[in-house]
Each structure stands twice: as C-alpha cells, then as structure tokens.
Amino acid sequence: MTSDYSQNPQFSLQSLELLAPAGNNDWDSDLYQDKHAFVWQYGEDLLKLLNPKPGEYILDLGCGTGQLTEKIALAGAEVMGIDSAPAMIEKAKQNYPHLLFNVADARSFQVDQPLDAVFSNATLHWVKEPEDAIACVYQALKPGGRFLAEFGGKGNIQAIAQALYTALEAVGIAAQTLNPWYFPSIGEYATLLEQQGFNVAYGILFARPTALAEKEAGMANWLQMFASAFLAELSPEQQTQVISQIEQSLKPTLYSESTWTADYKRLRILAFKI
C-alpha cells in the first residue's frame, strides 16, 4: 500500500526553509545514492523499532533520496519525507513519484496536522542547533507521539576527524572552525529532549564500524561526500594532497583487505511526547 496525496492534501508543510538549511546543503545526490547506500541500508534496522502501522501519519526527517520513506509507506503509513538539500528531494521524487517530498529545514518546519511519529536516520548530526530541531519535532507530534532517531553520537568518526584536522592544519586551514557536525552523548541529547517535554524511553550509544564502498577509493569518496565543508576552500591540488595525507594517516587502523572502514559511533534514541 502506498499513499495517494492527491486525495490527502492536508498532510503537508506550513513553512519551508524559514532558516538557512542546516549542514551541507550542496549534496551530490548521485554520489550519495550510488556510493553511500549503507546510510539507508543500516537505517532499515531502525524501522523495526519504529514499527509503522497502516493509517499512521509519519514524517521522515532528513529523508535523503527516499529509500526509507518508501519502506515506511509500504507498511501502510501516510508518510512525507523532508530534507534541507534540494538535490536530495529532487532525486527522491524521481525515485518515488507516488510519495510526497519537500525541501524543509529541521530547525523550522511545521506540519498542518499532528503526527503519530517523526523518524530520522543519519541526519541530526548535521544540525548544530539541536534545541530548535527538537522543538519542531515536539510541535509536530500528537500527545503520545513518538520520535525515533539515529545519528552520529559522541566519539563518531574520531579517527577520521583527527586525521582531517591534522592534514588541513598542514596547509594552513583552521579545521575546527569549519566543523559542520554535532555528535552528542546520550545524556546530553536525552536532557535536551526532556527539557522540551519528551519522555525518553530508550537510548544507546554503540560502535558501528562501517565498510565503505569502492574499495581503494572508499575514504576519498567519503571525504568528498561528507567532509566537503572542509575541502571547499582548497584548490584541486590541495584537496588531492589533503586526502592523500588523511589516507596515509588512517591506513594502519581503518584499511584492511583493500577496504576502508569508517569508525562510526551511533546514538539511537526513542522518546514520546508527554
């Protein structure tokens, strides 16, 4: 079963992009979809905890190219996907033209009717104003509604980040000032949720080493996809130099049998609107 939004115009956003979009808004949707499928493939396990039901109204916050949005719809739920990156939304609409997708900011969106659930996979580590995103989620949910999210937590990509900072400092870039990520602990994020009226039912921080596609090119592709904020000011020659230095630094620990592994740590949390 999939949703026909021509028959359900009420499930929509009241406001789009009230703030500048959070995180990296200049995504290469083809590179994301073709070389980084692990992002939504790992998220499929999260859908078991969401347990979407027929007739529920669910928002996929940070839907990317729409793969998990479609899986929620297949469970019979009425689902809408939002993302701050227009290229991602364009690709999602191409992939699943029968579903509703919109460009919107996690820090400022509003919906026209209360939702049963807000679901978010691998998105909220791009939102450095977590209080604003949590406030939007809370406003969007009906009483008793659930918020299920998984994203980078404390210690995520620690080795990659340190190698990135060191390589950039070698070419005169103060990398810390360019950091686009937010990786909270369980305690930090649970406290923010509780301060805004959520009851936190479940939280876990766990290591999830993630093999990267494209073998030898895996780390370079990852950096170009997810660390573009650090590389944007560099010339092509400097980018090659920095990426090469990062690879040399990380090879002893994150490269084995022709495959790169990202040192991910994920925060998974489930909360209910009181």
Whether the pTM exceeds 0.85: the reply is yes
Q: Is residue 5 classed exposed, middle or buried when 0-12, 13-18 and 19+ CB atoms within 10 A define those classes?
A: middle
Alpha-carbon span 41 to 158, nearest angstrom: 22
- Mean pLDDT, each 10-residue run in order, the chain (274 residues): 40 43 46 49 82 97 95 96 95 96 96 96 96 98 98 98 96 91 98 98 95 90 93 94 98 96 97 97
Measured on CA atoms in the order 222, 225, 228, 232, is the torsion positive or negative? positive
| pLDDT at position 41 | 62
Question: Among candidates 147, 86, 85, 90, which has minimal Cα distance to 115?
Answer: 147
Alpha-carbon span 165 to 40, nearest angstrom: 27
User: Residue 161 is inside which H or E element, if any?
Assistant: helix 158-169
Q: 3-class SS at 185? A: coil
| pLDDT at position 42 | 66
Ordered structural domains, the chain, with CATH: 5-154+181-212+264-273 (3.40.50.150)
| pLDDT at position 32 | 46
